[in-house]
Amino acid sequence: MKAEEIGLKDAQVRPVVDQLNDLLANYHIHYQKLRGCHWNVKGKSFFTLHAKFEELYTNAIATIDELAERILTLGKSPLSTYAEYIDTAEIEEIQTVGLQDIKMVEAILADFAALIDIERGIMEATSENGDDGTNDMINKFMQFKEKNTWMLRAFCNMS
Ligand SMILES: [Fe+2]
């Protein structure tokens, strides 16, 4: 499939697609971090956080699939190996075994901030290039993390 089929020129799509692949790579690292937090969380907040991390990784895996399929819709290939994800992502892996529950939440908040930052860049590029479909999709991803930033900060008693 070529972007022309949906009325977008290659020159409009090119600056957007590389950033979508960056976001995809970062999301995979974030996703696996959430799984680690879900598995390894301990303490009095176990039931709350175990469930919350599951909600977040379930959302992340759906986001990853939508992102990859948007890249294909735009006529390019999504990155699909872990080697590429680790190589491309700015978000770093962490060891969650033995990590204190609040430190886990702080790590997820830091990932959210990094992902939102990438998404704001993509929204700038998509509005400059007339790609409303990608803009709308990314905006929804961002709003989910904005709201969850508020909730996780409230959980940690942060202002
Ligand atoms: Fe589980």
Residue 151, judged by CB atoms within 10 A of its CB (0-12, 13-18, 19+), counts as: exposed
75 Cα: distance to centroid of ligand 1 (angstroms): 35
19 Cα: distance to centroid of ligand 1 (angstroms): 31
146 Cα: distance to centroid of ligand 1 (angstroms): 24
List, for residues 18-53, the tens digit of each pLDDT value. 999 999 999 999 999 999 999 999 999 999 999 999
- The arithmetic mean of pLDDT across residues 149-154, rounded, is 98
pLDDT of residue 68: 98
CA distance 118 to 145: 12
List, for residues 92-109, the tens digit of each pLDDT value. 999 999 999 999 999 999
pLDDT of residue 134: 97
* Phi, psi for residue 58 in degrees, rounded to 5: -65, -40
Would you say residue 11 has pLDDT above 90?
Answer: no
110 Cα: distance to centroid of ligand 1 (angstroms): 23
> What's the gap between Cα 5 and its chain centre?
27
Evaluate whether 40 touches 99 at the Cβ level (below 8 Å).
yes
Spell out the domains of the chain, with CATH numbers in brackets: 3-155 (1.20.1260.10)
122 Cα: distance to centroid of ligand 1 (angstroms): 32
1 pLDDT band (50/70/90 cuts)?
Answer: confident
User: Residue 156 to residues 36, 61, 72, 146: CA-CA distances in angstroms?
Assistant: 19, 25, 39, 16
pTM reported for the whole predicted model: 0.96
* Phi, psi for residue 156 in degrees, rounded to 5: -85, 5
